[in-house]
Every structure is written in C-alpha cells, then in structure tokens.
Structure 1
Amino acid sequence: MKDLILTIVQPLVDRPEDVRIEMEEGSNGITYKLSVHPEDMGKVIGKQGRVAKSIRTVVYAAAGSSQQKKIFLEIVE
C-alpha cells in the first residue's frame, strides 16, 4: 500500500524526496500517515480537499475487501 501512495503522491509534489509514509497498526485498522514538505502541502490537499479525497478514494478502493482491517490515510504536517 505504501508503494501505491508513493506512486500517486510523488508526481504531485516539487520535492518527492521529502515524501514520508509511516504505518501504524491498531485494533481498529491500519493508519498510513503521509507527510510532505510544508511547501507541497497545498498540492497534496488541493482546493477544498479534493486531491486528498481522491487519493483516499483510490487507496481505499485498492485495499478493498482483500484487507482484513480497515485502512485509513492521514495527511500530517
């Protein structure tokens, strides 16, 4: 799943080397925490959060029913 997120996010930003993804597994699911360079934050979130919502939609669809746990994607500063 990390590879999918990287594949989507890195072309969007000016500093792809600063893209970091951390995975936290909890009792209610797996949370992927995405962090990018502060100047690229707006590009990842998009106007009114449309880009972020689209990224989440693709990630959740890819996880689908193949995962036993629910997948979450957080964009952190």
Structure 2
Amino acid sequence: MTETNIEALVRSLVTPLLKHPDDLTIHQTTDDRFDRYVVDVHPSDVGRLIGRQGHVASALRTVVEGARPRRSNSKKVRLLINDHRH
C-alpha cells in the first residue's frame, strides 16, 4: 500500500475553496504524538475555509484524518487553520 501525501491532499482539497489560491501555504510540524499541518490563506479566505459553524473545516479534518496510515505507530494528523484575526 502506498502512503498518502497529506500535504498534497490538503492542498487539493483547499485550493478550489479559495478566491486567492496563490496565497495558500501549508507548514508541517511534527512532535511525538502529532503531525500538524498549519494552513495559511489570504485573510479574506479564512471564512470560506472554516465555513458556517465550522462545517467545512470539520469535513476537511475528517478527510485528512481518514487518509492517514492505520499502523499502530503512526501519528495522529492535526489540521490547523491560521485565523489572522487573533
């Protein structure tokens, strides 16, 4: 089985939602429990990425978590959206 490239998956899911896709950056950090992917977008696209009551963000997190390998030693995946308002 091939391992999924999580960053490419996030990029392919997020890009169609954005009005400014050129401003999309994804940073990965890793610790002993999690692989974190921080998504930075243009400030006017943050709401489009989060969605009403967080439904879009929740759906993105569900897909990304489902794509991670199910090995016993694999880390959990965290998808964080950088909200420029805070």
State the distance in 1 between where 2:48 and 2:7 align: 19
RMSD over aligned Cα atoms: 1.2
1:63 matches 2:75: no
How many pairs were matched up?
77
Greater CA drift, 59-68 or 33-42: 59-68
Shift of 1:27: 1.3
Any stretches of 5+ residues in structure 2 without a counterpart?
A: 1-5
Aligned to 1:73: 79
Shift of 1:46: 0.2
Any stretches of 5+ residues in structure 1 without a counterpart?
A: none
Aligned to 1:28: 33
1:53 matches 2:65: no
State the distance in 1 between where 2:68 and 2:32 align: 17
Secondary structure, counterpart of 1:22 in structure 2? strand
Shift of 1:28: 1.2
Greater radius of gyration (CA): 2
